A and B are shown apart, each in its own frame.
Chain A
Amino acid sequence: MTSKNNRCLQGEIVEESVQFSLTELCRASGATEDQLKLWVAEGALEPQGEFELHSRATRTWVFSGSALRRAVIAHRLESELEVNPAGVALALDLLDQIEDLRRRR
C-alpha cells in the first residue's frame, strides 16, 4: 500500500449492488458473528427472503447491502454505550422513525 495513489478508484454502491453472507457482514461491520445472530434473533437485522434461526441455517443467510448500515450502528451502540440486543433493536427502529419524521417535515 502506497501513501499516495493517483489512480481513480471505482467502487460499487453497497445498497444497490452488494449482498453479504453472515461472515462478510461480520467483517464489514466489525461486529462478531454472535452479535449479528443476536441482532437477527431480536429482529434488528433481517436476512433476505425466508430464513431460519437455527445454527446450521446461519450459513445460508444473505443480507441486503442496506443491512451494513444497521449492523455498523448496532455495533457502535453496543461497544460504545453497552446497549443490549433488545435495546439495539429498539434504538434502530426509533432512528428509522426519526428519519421518517425529518423527511416529512
Chain B
Amino acid sequence: MYPSTGAVSKMKYKDYYKTMGLPRTATQAQIKAAHRKLARKYHPDLNKDPDAEEKFKDVAEAYEVLKDPEKRAAYDQLGEAPQGGEFRPPPGWEEHFSQGPGPSRGRGTYSSASEADFSDFLDELFRSQGAGSRGASSRAGSERPMAGQDQHAMIVIDLEDAFTGAQRTINLQVPVIDEQGRVAMQPRVLTVSIPKGIRAGQRLRLAGQGLPGYGGGPAGDLYLEIQWRDHSLYRVDDRDLSLELPVAPWEAALGATVTVPTPQGRVDLSIPSNSADGKRLRLKGRGLPAASPSAAAGDLYVVLKVVFPKANTDAAKAAYQALRDATRFDPRANFPG
C-alpha cells in the first residue's frame, strides 16, 4: 500500500486552501477561524447531510497541514497545481519534514478506520516517518494486562429486518499492530444477528468483539449503531410508521375499502365517507415490534392524500362541471370580504 520509493510521482493534488475557502496568503488566525467554522458546519453529529462526513474529513485533513507552519511551508513549496491534476513534487521535498504527522484525530466512530481517514495524498506528503505509524500505540509490548479498546461502527438495516430479525454481514477495518509496533488496517468480516424490535439510533453491543487486549487483558466490545436504509413507503417515528395513501376524491367522499401495504403484508383498510385530505387512520400494532415482550408494538398511521384526475377530456370536464353545479361548494366561504 505504501511503496518504498518513487511512489510520489503520481497522485491527485489536493488544494487545501480551496477546501478551507481561503487565499494562499491567509494568516494562521484566519486558518483557525475557517477551520472552526467549517468543522461545525460539516460535523456529522450536527449535519445530517450524507456528504457532511466526507467534507468534515477533507477540512480536518486540510487543517492538519495548514495549522502547522512547518508543514504549511512545505505544502506551499509544492506550488499550485490544477485542481484534480497530477503533479510531481520537487526533488528533495521530503527533507522538509523532521516530524511525523502529529496526533491523529482518532475518530473511532462511524467507521473504525480512524487512522486511515486521511487521503493517500497526505500519507505520501508526510511519509518520512512511515504513514503506517500514525497513531501507533505505545502499548505494544507492554507486559501489564490491559483491556482492549471498545470499537464503534455503523450498520444500515432495512425496516423489514426489525420485524423478523435478520443476519447481516459487516466489514470492518481494524488496526492491527505488527512486530515493528506499527499500525496497519486489516479487514475483518463479522456476521451479526439483528434482533427483532431494534430501531434506528439504538446500538447493539457485541461483547468481546472490540480490539484485542494487551498482555492477556480482555478484548474490548464492539458497538454497532443502527441506521435505517431509506424506505420508499414508510416514514419512521420511534416505533410508529406512517404511510401516505393516495386516494381518489370519490373514495374520500363516499368511503371505500382500499388494500394498503404494511411491512407484514397487505391489509384491507376501510376509509370512512367524507374523509378530508390529510386524515390519519391508525392501524394499531402494525408499526415496529417491541424488542421486549412486555412492551407494545408501534402503530402504523395511514395518511390520506386526495389526488384528482385531470380534466383533460370532455367527459372529465363534464363530470367536474356537474360536481360544481350539484354542490355549489365554496372552498373560501370563511375568507373575510
Q: Which A residues lie within 8 Å of B268 (CB)?
A: none
Q: Count CB-based A-B contacts (< 8 Å).
A: 100
- Name the interface residues of A1-18: CB closer than 8 Å to any CB of B: 1, 3-18
Q: State how many residues of chain B have any CB contact under 8 Å with chain A.
A: 46
State whether A81 touches B203 (Cβ < 8 A): no
- Name the interface residues of B193-235: CB closer than 8 Å to any CB of A: 193, 195, 197-198, 201-207, 209, 212, 219-221, 223-224
- Residues 1-37 of chain A: 1 if any B CB is under 8 Å from the residue's CB, otherwise 0? 1011111111111111110000000011010000000
Given A3-B189, A28-B150, A91-B46, A9 and B201 contact (CB-CB distance below 8 Å): no
State whether B223 touches A68 (Cβ < 8 A): yes
User: Could you say which of B203, B207, B224 has the most chain A C-beta atoms within 10 Å of its C-beta?
Assistant: B203
State whether B46 touches A28 (Cβ < 8 A): no
State whether A8 touches B192 (Cβ < 8 A): yes
Cβ 8 A contact of B43, one of A16, A80, A103: A80
State whether A69 touches B203 (Cβ < 8 A): yes
Cβ 8 A contact of A8, one of B174, B186, B191: B191
Q: Which B residues lie within 8 Å of A38 (CB)?
A: none
- Helix, strand, loop or mixed for chain A's interface? helix
Q: State how many angstroms separate the Cβ of B162 from the closest Cβ of chain A.
A: 11
Q: Which A residues lie within 8 Å of B224 (CB)?
A: 11
Q: State how many residues of chain A have any CB contact under 8 Å with chain B.
A: 33
Q: Which B residues lie within 8 Å of A18 (CB)?
A: 205
A72→B197 CA distance, assembly (Å): 23
Given A5-B190, A30-B150, A76-B109, A11 and B206 contact (CB-CB distance below 8 Å): yes
Is B139 located at the chain interface by the 8 A CB criterion? no
Given A9-B193, A13-B198, A14-B223, A95 and B46 contact (CB-CB distance below 8 Å): yes
A81→B44 CA distance, assembly (Å): 12
Q: Which A residues lie within 8 Å of B107 (CB)?
A: 76, 80
Q: Which A residues lie within 8 Å of B60 (CB)?
A: 80
Interface pairs (17), CB distance under 8 Å: A3-B188, A4-B188, A5-B188, A5-B190, A8-B191, A8-B192, A10-B206, A11-B205, A11-B207, A13-B195, A13-B197, A16-B202, A16-B292, A18-B205, A28-B150, A76-B45, A81-B36
Q: Can you name 13 extra interface pairs (CB under 8 A) apart from A1-B188, A4-B189, A69-B203?
A: A9-B192, A9-B206, A10-B195, A11-B192, A11-B206, A11-B207, A11-B224, A13-B197, A13-B204, A14-B204, A17-B292, A76-B109, A80-B60
